[in-house]
Chains A and B, each alone.
Chain A
Amino acid sequence: MIEGPRLPWLDATIVGITPITHRVKSFRLAVTFDRPAVAGQHVEIRLTAPDGYRAQRSYSIASAPSRDGTIELMVEGLPKGEVSGFFDGVAEVGDTLELRGPIGGAFVWRPEDGGPLLLVGGGSGVVPLLAMLRHRAAAAPHIPALLIYSVRAADEVLVQDELVRRAETEPGFDLMLNLTGDGGRRIDAALIGEALERLGAPRHTFICGANPFVGAASDLLVEAGLDPRTIRTERFGG
């Protein structure tokens, strides 16, 4: 039953780097997994110093599952972050890193899981949700989906152009962007109520972000009457 092949460490070469906000960069990595990926999963990245010292961290896959032999990651450079700082300041196109995955079997969505799909992302927590949205658009555009995306400031929104374009051109996809900084508000019962009215009762809900965000959002959704068993959460830390 659970005997399976080992999840091997693979070499992944950086084939593209694109800044997407002042803190977050997108990395396209050439890597071929030995098993199919599912939207929402992550990889482990392992960096090795010349003396053999290693650091290992998890990053969500932003790209939809595909067979083109690449994945996209989006890494927020933290001021003194050991691994995110490497991505932010050192990594270049042509570099090879070690990676293993795809990992995760709970925070995942497949087209056959159906919808409506409610996605709630805080900050860089939107990354695995983006993979779900991209996959939905390509494989199951008939499934209704709504993304509540909460960030501090407008210049911290990841791939705003893509999200706005999707909301404008994809029937059945709805975007609620929420700014919490200056004059904005944290997500609250009223906002959740509006989302549920626009989407209808979700069959699956995915919430991702920092600890306090995920805790607050899941409490609000349970209070709004959603069945806790239909809600999946992922926390990046903090």
Chain B
Amino acid sequence: MSTRGFTGRRPPETTRVRLPPGQSLTEDFPVLQIGPNPRIDLDTWRFTLRAGSRPLKSWSWAEFGALPRTRWSGDIHCVTQWSKFDTAWEGVSVDDLLADAGVDAPTAFALAEGYDDYTTNVPFADLTDGRAMVATHYDGAPITSDHGGPARLLVPHLYFWKSAKWLKGLRFTQKDEGGFWEMRGYHMYGDPWREQRFTGD
């Protein structure tokens, strides 16, 4: 059923094919977060991989900076209905982190943890094989605090709430444990192309 009097402002076909259902293109870079930006000092910053509560490996900012670099460009999709095209990121792939830590596949699931105590769950398979990185640069410059710097997760094939800002670590879990939004009615997986915004979508 159509809405009386609504014609809409259709984006060009080239844009439409790149927009998942229910999304619109934005040129801005909207900011989404649940609270204030945490204050993060690079001198004390650490990034830690854990299996459950057991630390597997931890890097200081300098050690992290010495890891192999990865770049990715493409489109990102936020659950609040905007998408941004051709974003360019650089950081360290989760594959390279695991290799440096000397671990294979600890468990089938992970929780990303932020310095703001935010958490979000991502299956292990969605973090590896080049599908995710811990990004430190956006568009050639260090990621600003508003966008999750100094380091944020980037899992661009899922809704952007999965790309946790101000990342302090990844915790591998036995079960698929919901994170902050997943416990509040948002989808456990969050595939934009299947419009998995909310529980049951």
Contact = CB atoms under 8 A, between A and B. Distances in A.
B81 interface: yes
Interface in A1-57: 1-7, 44, 46-50, 52-57
Contacts of A97: 3
A85 B24 CA distance: 15
A106 interface: yes
A5 to B, nearest CB: 6
The CB with the most chain B CB atoms within 10 A, among A47, A96, A98, is that of A47
B4 A95 contact: yes
Contacts of B100: none
A82 B9 contact: yes
B116 interface: yes
A53 B180 contact: no
Given A3-B199, A4-B199, A55-B24, A82 B8 contact: yes
B199 A2 contact: yes
A128 B6 CA distance: 26
Q: How large is the interface on B (under 10, 10 to 19, 20 to 34, 35 or more residues)?
A: 35 or more
B34 interface: yes
A6 B187 CA distance: 10
A7 B201 contact: yes
A54 B199 contact: no
B120 to A, nearest CB: 13
Contact of A49 (B6, B24, B31): B6
B196 to A, nearest CB: 11
Nearest to A94: B4
Interface stretch (A61-69, A130-138, A191-199, A215-223): A215-223
Interface residues on A, range: 35 or more
17 contacts: A2-B182, A2-B188, A4-B199, A4-B200, A48-B6, A49-B2, A54-B8, A55-B6, A57-B81, A82-B8, A86-B5, A90-B6, A96-B3, A97-B3, A106-B181, A228-B38, A235-B31
Given A215-B146, A219-B36, 4 more contacts: A2-B183, A49-B7, A53-B10, A232-B34
Interface of B: 1-10, 22-24, 26, 28, 30-39, 80-82, 116-117, 146, 178, 180-185, 188, 197-201
Top 3 A-B pairs ranked by shortest CB distance? Answer: A105-B184, A6-B200, A218-B36
Interface of A: 1-7, 44, 46-50, 52-58, 80, 82, 86, 90-92, 95-98, 103-107, 211, 214-215, 218-219, 221-222, 228-229, 231-233, 235, 237-238
